[in-house]
Amino acid sequence: LARHDPIAADDVKAALLSWPSRPKLSVLALKELAQRSRPLLAVQALECMRTQQLEVNIFHYNTVIGACGKAGHWRLALSVFTSLSNFEVEPTDSTFNAAISACEKGGRWQLALHLLNWMPEAKVVADGISYNAAISASRKGSRWQLAIELAGCMRE
């Protein structure tokens, strides 16, 4: 943690000590980092949680992926997303939505569509948020016809 933000890293390290007895506190702490636009620190906290063998579940991952996306770190969001399989955590629609939104914000319409198309294979049902993020990514990529087709799929 200390390599990116020594002051905040010390706070996170201290908080980690109380998380095993209060697991919901870890999600709240990650959400706080997300709200403060501190995605790198959120990723580092998640890594520390795994290293310390603390409970890490899909809510933690969703929060961190969302934090990365909101801050414009689409590569980091996808890195966290792809690490799910290493830790036997199954993605949910919220996980995919956060990753698709990160790609949309990063102007990566192809990756957003790839994630949307991957959802059925992962046995996850795309919802309105999934399609809206993919449509927005398509529009930002000037792929208007694709955006219209996706809107049509959403109605089906």
* Mean pLDDT in residue range 17-24: 65
In this prediction, residue 97 carries a pLDDT of 96
Alpha-carbon distance 5 to 118, whole Å? 35
DSSP H stretches of helix in 52-92:
58-70, 74-83
Residue 107 scores a pLDDT above 60 = yes
In this prediction, residue 154 carries a pLDDT of 66
- Name the residue with higher pLDDT: 52 or 126: 126
Asked whether the beta carbons of 137 and 103 are under 8 A apart, the reply is: yes
* Mean pLDDT in residue range 7-18: 61
- Phi, psi for 3 (deg, rounded to 5): -70, -20
C-alpha closest to that of 114 among 132, 93, 99: 99
Q: Under 8 Å CB-to-CB from 134, ≥6 apart: which residues? A: 100, 104, 109, 112, 113, 115, 116, 150
Asked whether the beta carbons of 24 and 63 are under 8 A apart, the reply is: no
The predicted-structure confidence for 57-72, as pLDDT tens digits, reads as follows 899 999 999 999 999 9
